[in-house]
Amino acid sequence: MRICSFLPSATEIIAELGLIDSLVGVSDECRWPPEVVGKPVVTATRVDPASMSSVAIDEAVRAAVREGRSLYAVDADLLARLAPDLIVTQDLCEVCAVSSGELASACPIGAEVVSLDPRSLGEVGDSVLLLGSRLGVEERAAELVERMQSTIEQATASVSGLPRLRVFFAEWLEPPFSAGHWVPEMVRLAGGVDVLGQEGEPSRRTSWEAVLAREPALVVLGPCGFGAAEAARRAAGLELPCRAVVVDGDAYYSRPAPRLADGVRQLAHLFHPDEAPDPKLPAFELRATIAAAPSLQP
């Protein structure tokens, strides 16, 4: 089967299912696993985040949504030449990837479109099972979901019965956005309580004044689309009266794929470092990062 994935999380899942060679096209945001880099890019964002501030990116995205413009360009000619049997995309977030509706004029004749729209960790597992069934690797999919669940359960068990830490998880920095969908659930399973995020609900725009009014003991900065080093650079000027930690939101929090389980492990360690083991994922104490790594200065 020939597969085009417009969704980084779907690309990760397909690779985990052992079908990376079936991927004939990806989006420009598909960077994991490294083997997918260099595959034909069939869709790309119209916004260049590397050259823009967090505020400018937010303004550009809101303007596109307000005016009904797509944030993504689909190379219809390349898509037709690749002749995929299956195209995987999403309808959950209008700023995360091409939606199935946007494919109406670009979808090759005969190609099936599968939309993955999980809102919880359980539904992320369901997405894995759905792709496994569609691609004929049901057993591999079931094993992958079982490993994901086992990892989460172990992290949760390590902090069971401990006091819950008040946390704000920022999915964007300026303006701040509360955590959405599965991330507040990850916070809860790791032994915390998200002071603004709501499980299963979209991320919401807020203000740092509103965040601090909830008196979080810890702020976790995991802006969507950025790794920990770039997020730390962008957060370098942020002054908060509580502990703040920068994590790799792009890899372990934003994408509804199996690596979310590792994100739960990391949160458990950040909340309860003496009880939960350190998974050794990228993380920077905000002020320590500024002091120790001048290269991360803006």
Residue 254 is predicted with a pLDDT of 94
pLDDT class of 99 with cuts at 50, 70, 90: very low
> What domains are there in the chain, each with its CATH number?
3-117 (3.40.50.1980), 143-296 (3.40.50.1980)
Given a cut of 70, whether residue 92 has pLDDT beyond it is no
- Closest-CA residue to 227 (of 201, 205, 197, 259): 259
Read off the pLDDT of each residue in 160-173 and give the average, rounded to a whole number: 97
For the ranges 90-104, 233-247, 258-272, which has the lowest average pLDDT? 90-104
Task: Provide the angle, in degrees to the nearest 10, between the axes of the packed helices 138-158 and 121-134.
Answer: 160
Read off the pLDDT of each residue in 140-152 and give the average, rounded to a whole number: 98
Share of the chain above pLDDT 70, in %: 83
- Evaluate if pTM is beyond 0.95: no
Given a cut of 50, whether residue 297 has pLDDT beyond it is no
Instruction: Quick: pLDDT tens for 211-224.
Output: 999 999 999 999 99
